[in-house]
Amino acid sequence: MKECPYKNFRSKVLEFIEVLRTPREEFGGLPPCPFVGAEIDRDKLMIELFDPSKNSIVDMAKQLVASKYDSALFVQISNTEISEEDTFQYQKFLNKVLKKSGYHDLKCICTNPNETYDADGFNVRQHAPYFLINVTNKKLLHKTHTKLLKTKYFDKMSKEYLDYLRVEKKPRRKNEK
């Protein structure tokens, strides 16, 4: 009998989070996810399984909102792989469902290990142990995104990756590092 791929999912996700929180030159000397470390250290990141055959993203959002956590990382259980091409459409679908259900302040960001986007040859997403759905507050995302635009974080990302992330890089002034 084949071992369940979701056995020890938390430890596998925590190993991936170590990759996300480790500074890398490909991200301007910042970690690929500069804010996940603080969330883990403060015990503010919920890590749970999400089985769409048993509950919905709205059920998971309710669980997050009722918890002590600021954001969540849901490991989506699936018998089939989700293609890179389908990831963005699925993410849009999840966000529409949340918005329609009254969760206007939450946003989903999907991480698919099948994605090929990279920063100077380093593909952080391929290190994900599963298809992951990060659910967090839109205002917090906007605030952190704005901070990152003032750094070299996006400088080594391909045009395709920047387009996927919907980042429009504006040239920094000479005195900005």
Distances from the Cα of 22 to the Cα of 12, 30, 119, angstroms = 16, 8, 15
**Which pLDDT does position 172 carry in this prediction?**
52
Whole-model pTM? 0.91
Q: What was the pLDDT predicted at 3? A: 74
Separation of alpha carbons 111 and 95, rounded Å:
14
Q: What is the pLDDT along the chain (177 residues), one digit of tens a residue?
A: 677 788 899 999 999 999 999 999 999 999 999 989 999 999 999 999 999 999 999 999 999 999 999 999 999 998 888 998 899 999 999 999 999 999 999 999 999 999 999 999 999 999 999 999 999 999 988 898 899 999 999 999 988 889 888 887 655 555 554
Q: What is the pLDDT of residue 171?
A: 53
Backbone Cα Rg of the chain: 16
Query: Which amino acid, 146?
Result: T
* Residue 6 confidence (pLDDT): 86
